[in-house]
Homo-oligomer: A and B are copies of this chain.
Amino acid sequence: MTVDLEGLRVLSTVVREGSFARAALALNKTQSAVSYQVHKLEQQLGTAVFDRSAYRAELTPVGERILVEGQRLLDQAQYVSSLVEQFSEGWEPRLELVVDGMLPSARLLAVLKEMADLNIPTHIQLRVEFLGGVSQRFEQAGAELMLTLVPLSDTRLSVQALADLETVLVVAPEHPLALAKGAELAVLQQHVELTVHDSSYSKAHGGTQTFGGERVFYLSDFRAKKEALMMALGYGWMPLDQVEDELQAGTLVELDYLGGSRHRYTPMLVRRLDQPVGRAGQLLSEKLQQQFGLNS
């Protein structure tokens, strides 16, 4: 009841060549084999594809439409076959990159767009995790690459440090801590800290928990965290590039904390040494290093 590709291929050739006989020639078949395939296709569809009442067979309206859709089908089939060829040329079928959500997403997306524009056969999967969640996911999901902020020492991994990333301790201007001068840790602990939690553990997403005596509020990502900060729910660390506009506009202010209100992280591009890197992985690594800059 369903079509097969050979029938469609023959249909397409007949239309292109203009007659059954010439299509047969083009396909290295006999004319009767072409006739057979056309009949088979018509039987599968349950409708006439050609009108043979005249001298030369002509497409019926349905036939015209089947031809168009069938061509798409043939092209797609061709693509599936060509995929494998590209895989054997070093392009990997899948490439998974795990990144820390603290990293500037605009840069990441720019890199991914560049990759997409190159029309690479590789499916690139991006996963966003936080802190420890990054390397955990990297291990467990068998991802090829990760961009993590947590240092690790595993001799089976290749680690390439990228340009530093700065974080700032911020609060809303109307929050009591905004006025504090040279606040100590004890002062901070009297208020709610907002934290983006490792998403694999964040079952209690958005719920308040007591943790080591401090009051911590867990959020799913930095977008939610920024909103919570601006609503003066608490204080917290934010990547500098994600709050630059707010600091400028004064909708968020930098905390005056004795322990230092700025902190540097070093993003690291990590891949496995025991697994060969495909062409897409290689390319992605280069583009990431270029976009994020090498550690100076």
Contacts and interface: CB of A to CB of B under 8 A. Distances in A.
Interface in A162-182: none
Contacts of A51: none
A77 B73 contact: yes
Interface in A15-73: 44-47, 61-62, 64-66, 68-70, 72-73
The range of chain A's interface size is 35 or more
Interface in A226-277: none
B81 A65 contact: no
A74 to B, nearest CB: 9
A75 B1 CA distance: 14
Protomer copies:
2
Interface in A128-160: none
A66 B45 contact: no
B3 A80 contact: yes
B65 A123 contact: yes
A87 B69 contact: no
Contacts of A70: 80
A72 B123 CA distance: 15
B81 A44 contact: yes
A269 to B, nearest CB: 22
A61 B125 CA distance: 14
Interface string A1-16: 1111110100000000
Interface string A96-137: 000000000000000000000000000100000000000000
The 8 closest A-B pairs by CB, nearest first: A65-B93, A45-B84, A61-B93, A69-B80, A2-B81, A62-B93, A73-B76, A47-B84
Given A3-B81, A47-B84, A62-B93, 7 more contacts: A4-B6, A46-B85, A62-B84, A64-B93, A66-B80, A69-B80, A73-B76
